[in-house]
Structure formats: C-alpha cells, structure tokens
Homo-oligomer: A and B are copies of this chain.
C-alpha cells in the first residue's frame, strides 16, 4: 500500500535549504503552496529555521513520526541519510538526488547499497533520480515534488517514466483548466515500480483514468498482469516514446528487420487494453473525456452541429478513426423534423443551424441520445452572439446528466467573452474541446476502450487434440543435445503434435534410398539437393519442381547425381503444392514478456511493405482473427477480383495452435512457419517450411 507515500501525514526534507533556487527549498515551498496539512520537517545540519519552518539537524531528532522523507543531499551522502531514516522509522523516502544507476559504475553500487539499507529498515524507496509525487486530494493535498506546475483537483492520474514528459502533460492539462488526481515520476525505480503505482491507482476511487508514459518496461509480465486487472474497470492511456530508436533489439529471426523499436511495447499495450497514443496533446485531450464520460457501447457516433465546416472535420476524423455515422432512426428524424427549424438537416450529422437556441439543442441532444442507432454524441457548438448560449449549455448539461451515453462538445468560441457558457458546461462535467479533431479523437479512443472491455473476457483458445507430451519430449531431447535449432524432422514432429499440417517430405543420403523413401511423399513432388555447400540451389539447378511420377524422379535423381558429384549432399523429396496464398506465422521470445506472435503475407508483403501484425501470446480466437484482419492485404486473403479467398477459419486455427504450442513449450525462442500455403479448401492448407530455435 502506498498510502503513506501519496497521502503522508508528515514529511521531512533532508537537505532542505534556505536558498530559494534549490530543490531543498522548493520542496518545502511547494508543500506550503499546496496547503499540506501535516507537519513539514526541514533537516539541515546547521540552520535552525528553513523557509520559516523549524529545522532539525538530523531526522532522528524530529519530534513526531515521519511518513515520508525527501532526500536531496549529494549522492554519496544518501546511504548515511537512509540509515538515519531507518532508525527514525520513516516509511517512505523520495530520493530526488541523481547519480545512481543511471551514471553506471559507482552509481550502480550506490543504488545497491541504498536498496540494502531500505530492506534492513523496511523503508520503501521512490526514485532515486526522480521528481516525486503529487496528490490533489481536497482533504490532504500533497506536493512532494520539486517541479513548478500547479495542480487542481480532478480525476486524471499521471505516471511518467520521464519526468520531463510527465511535467509537460501535467502542465498541458493545467493550461486546459483540467484537474488531476495524482502524479508520479519515479526515475530509476529502484524499489517502487510502475506496476505498483498503477495497482495503487487502480484501487483509488477518485482516479478515473490513468495517463501513462513509458520509454521501456523492466518487468513486462508483471506490468501486463497489473494493467489487465485495471483496464478491466478503469482506462489506462499509454504513450511510448523512442519509437524510432535505432538500437532496437532484433527479436525476430528471419523477420528481424520488421520489428520496430516499439513493436513489443505496442503489442503489450494492445494485449492489456491500454489505449495507445503517439502524441501528448491527444493523450491529454482524450483523458479529459475519459475522466467524465461513460464509455460508448459501440462505434456509432451521432454528430450535432450548428455550423457546416467543422462538422465535416468531425466526420472525417471519426470515419478515419474507425467510427461509423449511422442513419438516425425514422422516429428520431420525424421528431427532429417536427421540432427544429424547417431548414435544419435532420440526418446524421444533424445541423440545427446557427440560429438554434436552447429549445432546439435540447430536442436534438435528447432525441439523438435516445436513438438506439447512436452510441455516442459529438456536439459542434459555435456560440453565435444572437443565441442564448448559456441557455444551450444549461440544456445540454441537464440532458447529459441523465444520459448513459458519452457526449463531447467542440465549443467554437472565445472563452473570455462566453465565459458563462463555458462555466456551465464545465460545472456540468461536459468535456469541451477547441477543435473538432480533438473531440472526435477523444471519442475514437473511448470507443476503442469500450471494444476492448467487451472482448477482454474471451478465453484463450485451447485445443484438446494436441499432444503436448510428444512435443515436449522432442524439445527436451534437443535440449539435451544442446542444439539451438531443431532439425527439420523434429520441428515437423512438433507441428504434428499440435495438429498443424505440413507438407510431407523425406531426406535420404543416397540415390537408392531416396527412390524408396520418396514413395511416402507421393506425387506431385519436389526434389531438392540438401547441402551446406550448395547455396542458391535453385539457381544451380538443385531444385526440380512438380515431378509427376517415379520415372521422372529417377531421371532427376540421376541428373543430380551427375551434377553435384564431388559435393557432400543429401536428397530431399517434398510434397509439391500448387500455387496458393503464401502467409508467414512467426514467433519470438521476448525476455520477461513471453512470446510475440507475428503474422503477415509472404514475400514482398512482409519484406518490402512491412504489412504484418504482432500480438503477445497466448491468443484468444478474437485476437487471432484480429491479427489476420489487421493487415492491409487482408482483402487478398478474403479473395479479390473473383478469386476465391482462403479458409480464414483454418488460418485463425493455425495461429491459435501456434499460440498453444508456445504456451506449452516456453523454451521456444523463435519459430518461423514460412511459408504456409493457404487455399479455399481447409484440408489443403499446409506449412511448407518450418524453423524452430530453442
């Protein structure tokens, strides 16, 4: 429990100072400014008074209990101060001081040392190298932080790995006149971690939405576990920065170049229902709507406007964000026709005209919200000087307060001249925007979250006909041999155990043997030379396609024998598949996370167009289908220009079976089914080549 961190009853500042331009002074001033209710104990070796507060030479000499102590002394002095905190029985320390893990060398040692002291005394550490925390609570507000942004009470909590980014988001919300609930930027996170803070806020009733900034995740699995539990009942809006960083780990073997720096964090966000943003403005704007509005039950948005142009912008943005603008029901249209001005447009988007007053807005808002075709409402409200705008605002608030569908309002106005109108909307809890794009984007984000909430309880796919034991046996044996890659036979054995069909094949050392064993493969057949010496075997004539009978096979075997005389090689015969649609399923193990599954069309679609999708295993059926549908070339699989599509159910099943295999065999580091040949006929679909690394 982090109560004594975010709502401490008393705070000490070790390293407090009387010089106003120091962190040690600033923290005491921030606590005074916010109106911290408990005692503030500056600690300073000599000064008897700091910033008009009684100071103490050591924390051990502070009279009362200390819930939380800031430590802002030089890094090398921190351990000694921690020892004193321990003796005093301090519950939490915020170590603002930098010069720990982040500087390497001695810093790493120092960080280890303070962690040991903390363990000894049961102190929890926030930081080091961090800003601190804030809590706008109206009963006991806290500003245990050295930054300067002002806060006011609200329902958005902000957690940022980068203090700079957190500060910007906090500042932007303040500029937008929006309150926040709690704030934390925990720097090196030596002890108290991002998941722990998230979990605490998940249980904080006044936090309605969490805004999260990350650059990396130290424990993805714990992060996912915590976030999944939270997004179940409360939205998390996430932003990952460093998208274009060059040093991204190549997590996929064959398809390594596809893995952008942020692929795994994006996939993690997606997996645990975190709505992802790429822009600080958009994350702030969306948070405002999440903090006050119910989540839409579906993608159908109604747009209501009193001016033309901005409604077009709202429409563009909604459609591009995946929302729909459905027709209104006949009843609604009739009601609008009867009650709005004759020139008004009564189809979606509804234009009540600039002359519309409180009555017209009330009619439109109320009947659109009631319409079962509509899941959410976007109102474009330019404030004409000849209209009772305050009256319009009052009506919208009145109706919204009884509504179960979200409303966002784009108020096109001068906020100084129309202050009364804006105040009414604000007091009524209606989120207001300056630009139609922002209002629409907020609805898009809320709709995405609603969709996640409705789908998240779907179970992970599981097939009863798989033979886990057989697969595990193959892998255990390979492990004993210390092999990195499974042999083709082993890999096929693993697929076989999970009922993932592959083309038949056989390998033989001699011409005689291949003639015998090839019967098993059957015709049509491909014959290949299999040798480490012969690369580019197609170019060198080492591949014979579409062999239709034993006679031709004999001819080809003879010709290989002549052609590759002197080379060390084997004969490989494989079932020949007619041209179908090639796809790739890949998987790679990501440290601390589990497996990332990749799907894409084969060849240039993957290599040039990067048209792939990633998800964290294990996959539910919904997720497997989502992966297939989310690639741009999906229509190719569905069938185009009269060509029949492939069996998409079978493809989804392949993904789910791969997912199950990965869960059962976590030793798999990489898996590549490349290509898989798909057809309209379920039973023809087969894996052509497979590679498994353990």
Residues of chain A at the chain B interface (Cβ within 8 Å): 21-23, 26, 148-150, 160-168, 171-172, 174-175, 213, 215, 241-245, 278-281, 307-310, 312-313, 315-316, 319-320, 382-383, 385-386, 412-415, 417, 434-438, 604, 607-609, 611, 632-633, 635-636, 640-641
B414 touches A243 (CB 8 A): no
A320 vs B436: C-alpha distance in the bound complex, in angstroms?
A: 25
A171 to B382, CA, bound (A): 11
Given the interface pairs A26-B385, A604-B636, the reply to whether A243 lies near B320 with Cβ below 8 Å is yes
A318 to chain B, nearest CB (A): 9
Sampled A-B contacts (23; CB under 8 Å): A162-B307, A162-B312, A163-B307, A164-B309, A164-B310, A168-B310, A168-B436, A171-B412, A175-B434, A215-B312, A242-B312, A243-B316, A243-B320, A244-B316, A244-B319, A278-B316, A280-B437, A281-B435, A604-B640, A607-B641, A608-B640, A609-B609, A609-B611
Q: Which of B22, B174, B609 contacts A632 (CB 8 A)?
A: B609
Q: Are A309 and B633 in contact (CB under 8 A)?
A: no
Q: Cβ of A382 and Cβ of B167 under 8 Å apart?
A: yes
Asked whether B26 lies within 8 Å of A165 as measured between CB atoms, the reply is no
Given A22-B386, A608-B635, A414–B312 Cβ distance below 8 Å? no
Say whether A148 contacts B22, CB under 8 Å: no
> Could you tell me if A382 and B243 are in contact, using CB atoms closer than 8 angstroms?
no
What is the chain B residue whose CB lies nearest that of A103?
B343
Q: Apart from A241-B316, A604-B633, what 6 extra A-B contacts exist at CB < 8 Å?
A: A22-B386, A165-B309, A167-B382, A174-B414, A280-B313, A609-B633
Residue of B nearest to A441 (CB): B279
A417 surroundings in chain B (CB, below 8 A): 148
Q: Give Cα A383–Cα B106 distance, bound, in whole angstroms.
A: 30
What 4 A-B pairs are tightest by C-beta distance, nearest first? A162-B309, A164-B307, A164-B309, A165-B309
A354 to chain B, nearest CB (A): 9
Whole-angstrom distance from the CB of A308 to the nearest CB of chain B?
6
Separation of A243 and B415 alpha carbons in the complex (Å): 29
Q: Is the CB of B315 within 8 A of A149?
A: no
User: Are A640 and B607 neighbours in the complex by a CB distance under 8 Å?
Assistant: yes
The interface residues of chain B lying within 8 Å CB-to-CB of A414 are 148-150, 171, 174
Q: When the two chains form their complex, are residues B320 and A244 in contact, meaning their CB atoms are under 8 A apart?
A: yes
**Minimum C-beta distance from A258 to chain B (A):** 13
| Most B CB within 10 A of own CB, among A149, A278, A319, A435 | A435
Give the distance in Å from the alpha carbon of A353 to the alpha carbon of B403 in the complex: 50
Contact assessment for B633 and A168 in the assembled complex, using a CB-CB cutoff below 8 Å: no
Q: Which of B171, B174, B434, B640 contacts A172 (CB 8 A)?
A: B434
Q: Which residue of B lies closest to A642 (CB)?
A: B536
Decide if A309 touches B437 in the complex (CB within 8 Å): no
Q: How far is the CB of A411 from chain B (nearest CB, A)?
A: 10
Bound together, the chains give a CA A291 to CA B307 distance in angstroms of 29
Q: Are A21 and B386 in contact (CB under 8 A)?
A: yes
CA distance A166 to B308 in the complex (A): 12
Closest to A438 in B: B281
Q: Which of chain B's residues have a CB closer than 8 A to the CB of A175?
A: 415, 434
Cβ-neighbour of A308 out of B21, B22, B164 (below 8 A): B164
Alpha-carbon gap, A438 to B281, bound state (A): 9
Please, how many angstroms separate the alpha-carbon atoms of A604 and B245 in the complex? 32
- Measured between beta carbons, the chain B residues less than 8 angstroms from A316 are 241-244, 278
Residue of B nearest to A147 (CB): B385
Min CB distance, A414 to chain B, in Å? Answer: 6
- Bound-state Cα–Cα, A312 to B246, Å: 12
Give A383 Cβ to nearest chain B Cβ, in Å: 8
User: In the complex the two chains form, what is the Cα distance from A11 to B162 in whole Å?
Assistant: 57
In the bound complex, do residue B163 and residue A309 qualify as a contact, i.e. CB atoms below 8 Å apart?
Answer: yes
Chain B residues lying within 8 Å of A307, measured Cβ to Cβ, are 162-164
Once A175-B434, A244-B315 are accepted as A-B contacts, the answer to whether A412 and B164 lie under 8 Å apart by CB is yes
- Residues of chain B contacted by A149 (CB below 8 angstroms): 414
- Chain B positions within 8 Å of A213 at CB level: 309
Most buried by B among A150, A175, A312: A312
Q: Quote the shortest CB–CB distance from A27 to chain B (angstroms).
A: 11
Q: Which residues of B contact A308 (CB under 8 A)?
A: 162, 164
* Residue on B nearest A284 in the bound complex, by CB: B435
Assembled-state Cα–Cα distance A215/B213 (Å):
37
B385 touching A435, Cβ below 8 Å: no
Q: Which of B167, B242, B608 contacts A633 (CB under 8 A)?
A: B608
Specify which chain B residues have a CB less than 8 angstroms from the CB of A148 in the assembled complex.
383, 385, 414, 417
Cα A452 to Cα B172 with chains together (Å): 34
CB distance from A529 to the nearest CB of B (A): 19
Chain B residues within 8 Å of A632, by CB: 608-609
Q: In the docked arrangement, what's the CA distance between A604 and B636, Å?
A: 7
Cα distance, A412 to B604, chains bound together (Å): 44
Question: What CA separation (Å) do A633 and B604 show in the bound complex?
Answer: 8
Q: Are B611 and A412 in contact (CB under 8 A)?
A: no
Instruction: Return the chain B residue nearest A165 by Cβ.
Output: B309
Measured between beta carbons, the chain B residues less than 8 angstroms from A312 are 162, 215, 241-242, 245
A632 nearest CB neighbor, chain B only = B609
